[in-house]
């Protein structure tokens, strides 16, 4: 009896997680999130690294990572549609 209740509970949680994972993120929220990430990636290296060469290298690396993340997100969304 307790095992059945536990299995039902796990199945219910799994269905909620599956629904949450499949729901679409609202466009304004997604755009705001990307803007905040871009600001964070551009401003944090300037405040934490003191030399220009390291700042440039870190900024370029983080910008590349952001670009790849956005590209992979778009490709994944396109493939899923």
Q: How many separate domains does the chain show?
A: 1
SS3 of 65, please?
A: helix
DSSP H helices, 23-51, are: 27-48
Residue 46's nearest CA partner among 31, 62, 25 is 62
Mean pLDDT by runs of 10 across the 81 residues of the chain is: 82 84 78 84 68 76 83 68 52
Range of the structural domain that residue 71 is part of: 2-80
pLDDT of residue 77: 65
pLDDT attached to residue 36: 86
The pLDDT value given to residue 46 = 63
**pLDDT the model gives residue 1:** 67
């Amino acid at each position: 009896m307790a095992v059945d209740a536990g299995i039902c509970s796990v199945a219910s949680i799994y269905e909620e997680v599956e629904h949450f994972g499949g729901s679409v993120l609202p466009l304004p929220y997604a755009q705001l999130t990307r803007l905040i990430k871009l600001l964070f990636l551009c401003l944090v290296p300037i405040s934490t690294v003191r030399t220009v060469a390291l700042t440039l290298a870190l900024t370029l690396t983080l910008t590349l990572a952001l670009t790849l993340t956005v590209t992979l997100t778009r490709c994944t969304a396109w493939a899923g549609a």
